[in-house]
Amino acid sequence: MNFYVGLLAAAAVTTLVGAGQAAESDKFVVRGDAAKVLMEENQINVATAEAVAKACVDEATKQGVRVSIAIYDQFGEPVYMYRMDGQTKIAIETAIMKARTVLNTRQPSKAVMNQVLSGRASELRQYSFGNFANSGGLPIIIDGRQFIGAIGVGGSAPKLPAWSDEICAWRALTKVMGPQPALLPDVQRTQ
């Protein structure tokens, strides 16, 4: 009998913790009448996308660099785009390509880059799939498992291990949305 009471208590605690986490993540997604119109409750909202972009711009400014930022919802529709003054067209396009790579793979764009660098995939093949083999794109996830969008950052030269487009995106997501998964390790070209 005590075993069942313990199980019920554990289930109740799990439900309360889960509900608390869900309530916390509610501030990052579209809710209310807008969600009813969309018939979707897991879409990143504009306020969150804008806050993440602004946090990334703040990080870039601290480093004395300029970046472009593209944030998409989980369906691949643009939610927020921003470019700092002085960004060339290619910097804007790479931010978009990095975010689209995340949409295609549901993992950081660096995973594709690492596959190419380690010889497990060709860059041309990845490109034919619509993937850009470069770091700077990260999934936007809430509740540890719900994909709500993708961010791509482009335009700044990496200064590893202290700075890269990917680090900018990661720091911005961490600042706005809380702890993020660790970044993938850097892989050296094996070919």
Provide the mean pLDDT of the chain: 88
Q: Which two tokens mark 155?
A: 């335009």
Domain spans of the chain, in order of start: 2-28, 38-177
Which residue is it, tokens 């709500």? 148
The DSSP call for residue 26 is G
Which residue matches tokens 């504009």? 46
Look at residues 21, 22, 77, 23 and name the one whose alpha carbon lies nearest to residue 49.
Answer: 77
3-state secondary structure of 127: helix
CA atoms within 13 A on the CB side of 157: 2
Are the C-beta atoms of residues 149 and 140 closer than 8 Å to each other?
A: yes
Q: What is the DSSP string of 97-123?
A: HHHHHHHHHSS-HHHHHHHHHTTSS-H
pTM listed for this prediction? 0.83
Kindly report, residue by residue over 125-160, the tens digit of the pLDDT.
999 999 999 999 999 999 888 999 999 999 999 999
Handedness of CA 22, 23, 25, 28 (dihedral sign): positive
Residue with more model confidence, 57 or 21: 57
Average of per-residue pLDDT across 42-48: 93
38-177, what's its fold?
Beta-Lactamase (3.30.450)
Q: 44: buried, middle or exposed (CB in 10 Å: 19+, 13-18, 0-12)?
A: buried
Q: What is the pLDDT of residue 46?
A: 96
Q: For 46-60, how does the pLDDT look when each residue is reduced to its tens digit (9 = 90+)?
A: 999 999 999 999 999
pLDDT for position 39: 62
Q: Rounded to 5 degrees, what angle do the CA atoms 158, 159, 161 make?
A: 110
pLDDT at 29: 80
Q: Where are the beta strands (DSSP E) in the chain?
A: 68-73, 78-83, 137-142, 146-154
Q: How many CB atoms lie within 10 A of CB 103?
A: 21
pLDDT-based confidence at 3, cuts 50/70/90?
A: very low
